[in-house]
Structure 1
Amino acid sequence: MAAQALATSGSTQPARKLSGVERAAIVMFALGDEHGAQVWEELDDDEVRDLSAAMSNLGAIDAITVEGLLVDFVSKLSAAGSLVGNAESTERLLSQFLPRDRVGQIMEEIRGPAGRNMWEKLSNVQETVLANYLKNEYPQTVAVVLSRIRVEQAARVLAILPEEFAVDVVRRMLAMDSVQKDILERIEKTLRVEFMAGLSQATRRDSHEQMAEIFNSFDRQTETRFLTKLEEASKESADRIRQLMFTFDDLGKLDSAGIQSVLRDAPREKLAVALKGASQTMRAFIMGNMSSRAAKMLADDVEAMGPVRLRDVDEAQMIIVNVAKDLASNGQITITKNKGEEELVY
């Protein structure tokens, strides 16, 4: 420390108490333009701003203080003989020159995947996969994990977890204070080693399945245009995508319990628009799985609607399809492209 160096230097002047950023400012002044240029290049915008402000407000610093600070700095390097570069030694060194909160931010970024990036990656994991892993963990561990990922992802995972378990997790999240650093690091390490590593080693998702989902999101004209072009280039790929796509007409392959679950969750106003562009077969199937009163009201809504843009019909049908997909991902219904896949052969 500069103050400690001054105390042993024989100076009769009282040592000026310097903050970490002020000590850094003195070092930068001492290095000058030529030797300090490379240091400035390594600083980010916040560090440059903080350091510049300290340098501007530093005022006059006597030579003994400058010398004591530099001697102390050099002595700490030479006393060790050799250097060990790790997170702990880096944090100790930064603490001598930068404010504590800034050091914390820098070290969190330096620690990489075990820090912020880890939670960003976890937030992008499919909620059913994450929930399936977390349901075997302690509720307190799950509470910590869900408190660190995106709220939208946490909500979807909670909805999938067993109800009593999920409620226990919610209670723990409500009562949670700041998580101790060593506990958080252990959880991060476990997730990285046991979960994320296993996830990355899993079989890569079929590219045709992924493309089928993209095509499902197209409006009808765009879907037809792309499939036609793709068929010219690769008929096999186009046929595979068609087989994998789940469309509004595929709702007709659900059993009665499945379609009734979809109809319960589907927005009524969107259902009427979706049926406006549906075939008579689909209309009959959907209305046949409703009460006579509800079916009549829906039929009246469809007839009273008048002309509807094809784009609006496509959008409404996609909303209904997504309701079915959400129910399927939660295990509430089973979606198949072909009823024959579920038939038993004797």
Structure 2
Amino acid sequence: MADEQETGNTDAVLAEMTGIERAAILMLSLNEDDAASIFRHLEPKQVQRLGMAMASMRDFAHEKVVAVHRQFIDDIQKFTNIGIGSEDFVRNALTTALGEDRASSLVDQIILGSGSKGLDSLKWMDARQVANIIQNEHPQIQTIVLSYLEAEQSAEIMSQFQDKVRLDLMMRIANLEEVQPAALTELNEIMEKQFAGQAGAQAAKMGGLKAAANIMNFLDTNIEGLLMDSIRESDEEMAQQIQDLMFVFENLIDVDDRGIQTLLRDVPQDQLQAALKGTDEGLKEKIFANMSKRAADMLKDDLEAMGPIKVSEVESAQKEILSIARRLSEAGEIMIGSGGGDEFL
């Protein structure tokens, strides 16, 4: 009985915390060397988000720390074979999760300790820095770089270019299907760094309509609208295909209830409130239905009492929530899709 009560208390405490807050507490519980070892295995954006959460964390309430530790131990105990010290385990797990092409460079970095080189080094740079590096390169090289990097970073880089350049690059990305190993090797030489590991014997799949749609998802709303209009003027069919593959805030209504509940645990209340301002009533009701009655009533009252808010603030909040949704989707915690995709049955 005591165990059940303890578990209930832990769940209640965890429910009030976002995933990033739990991760920050766990990381701050480690010594610096162990924390650094974990950081080395994260993506640049993950390092940035987690580092900011750790630096800004001030609330170290005992029950929160205990709840995070207990959940971590419970999760660890679910696995009977964690593959410690097994190179094959790491290699196979990464390949299964990411695919052979994408996993190969990560395996080299983690197992061989080769560090970030070539194209991978760009992932750790500021968007403006990358834009400055590639601005005078041939558009085809720029296209490969933008297709290789994560969509969110590529969107930030594209924001540094002029409208005409953005249009040309987005259409090139949408038309790109694969890149030959020789081209990747040449590009890494242009970056004046040796690529981490080998490019592989097969052509690398990158670019395409889905890549273009993913980048569009992360662009500022005004830039996204102007760019989509320009693409439509040049190629109406391509514009429609990209539009169909994009995941916008209103598409959250198609996410199942369990997915919405998972998403809401990671979304700050003030961000959700701003995002729902002026949103379709159907989506609002779906959000309310997946909250406790008390929380839903409070949110409704806050929305009614909320004064005017800039459209740009609403759009910014919605994009932040979409970013969280995409991260959860990539982690396999929720399932999102759009009208044009065949990603699941």
> What TM-score do the two structures reach when normalised by structure 2?
0.44
Q: Higher helix share goes to which structure? A: 1
The structure, 1 or 2, with the larger RCO (C-alpha pairs under 8 Å, 6+ apart) is: 2
Rg larger in 1 or in 2? 1
